[in-house]
Amino acid sequence: MKKIFAAVAIVALFASCKKDYTCDCNDGTGVIDSTPIKDAKKADAQEACDALSTLNVAFGGGACTLN
């Protein structure tokens, strides 16, 4: 039982791990603009990068990718 609890605790620890990401956007001329996303879960960082991509495309730029 202790081994199962330890395994679940380790998985939960890594699942909630926050780290820094970069959202790289093409400005439409081939230049890449990098926006840092600090201390975020991957899903939250992806959501922020997707929102930035939507804005970037609306203003004539290209899509953004999360790194």
pTM above 0.75, yes or no: no
Give the per-residue pLDDT at 66.
Answer: 96
What's the pLDDT at 29? 83
Output phi, psi for 51, to 5 deg. Answer: -65, -40
- Compute the distance between CA of residue 2 and CA of residue 45 in angstroms, rounded to an integer: 34
CA dihedral 38, 35, 59, 48 (to 10 degrees): -20
The ranges assigned to domains in the chain are 18-66
| Whole-angstrom distance, CA of residue 12 vs CA of residue 17 | 9
Task: For residue 20, give the nearest of 45, 49, 57 by alpha carbon.
Answer: 45
pLDDT digits (tens, 9 = 90+) for 1-59: 334 434 444 444 455 689 999 999 988 788 888 999 999 999 999 999 999 999 998 98
